[in-house]
Amino acid sequence: MILYPALDVLDGRVVRLAKGDFETVTDYGDDPVAVAQQFRAAGADWLHLVDLSGARDGTRRQHDLINIVVDVGLKVQAGGGVRQVKDVISILDAGAQRVVTGSLAVSHPETVIGWLERFGPESITAAFDVRLDETGVAYPVLNGWTQKARITLSELLEAYSQAGLLHALVTDVDRDGMLEGPNQMLYADLIASRSQVHWQASGGVASLSDLAALRMAGLSGVIMGRALFEGRFTLKEALLC
């Protein structure tokens, strides 16, 4: 299981949002490169880099940061504001190993499937933000998590499975940034139904026991954000776990 420390950058500052809300910003300083260097020194191999300015405004703002972080010695999967094929090309050209595409993966799956075919499944991570209904069924959400998609996550994944999707990140939005523990049942269902996909968990990780449980469940990766920044555990401890 790969551990991905998350670096969310908004207007040049390292931040975390609660449930993706831009009105609930927690600021962790103005030096994202120093944070990346700390992650590398602690033993990280990968970084999950999110351009929140790009996600908010629709225009990528942190492109140069990818190249700098790669020079630090980290492999990078980067997203935020990825809306056109030129965004994918520029991120890969900057040295990132994978491009993370979120809302477009739900609203225009045919576009992302085209990218899978063009750039290869190793180069694309489809990110699905979901909310569970009262019966426990996961539905993708859009527009700041205010709009529920008309189809379930399972139905959406049918098309991606046929297209050879290899890397997918799923966030239970009601747990994102809340330190309440990840949705273990959601990930267990995804692994059981589509074991060929390398699933990444995101949202809610609060303890080393959460990481151990996700590893035992068969997750391929875990995104770690607020728990690291608030000292719930260190990255060294997480890697040992």
Domains of the chain, earliest start first: 2-240 (3.20.20.70)
If one compares 26 and 66, the residue with the highest pLDDT of the two is: 66
pLDDT band of residue 61 (cuts 50, 70, 90) is low
Task: Please identify every residue annotated as catalytic.
Answer: 8, 129
* 28-52 per-position pLDDT tens digit: 888 999 999 999 999 999 999 998 8
pTM of the model: 0.92
pLDDT band of residue 60 (cuts 50, 70, 90) is low
Whole-number pLDDT of residue 179? 79
Round to whole Å and give the CA distance between 142 and 219: 24
Whole-number pLDDT of residue 227? 92
- Mean pLDDT across the chain, nearest whole number? 91
The token pair at 156 is 């959406």
For residue 155, give every residue at least 6 positions away whose Cβ sits within 8 Å of its Cβ, in sequence order, or none: none
Mean pLDDT (whole number) for 123-135? 94
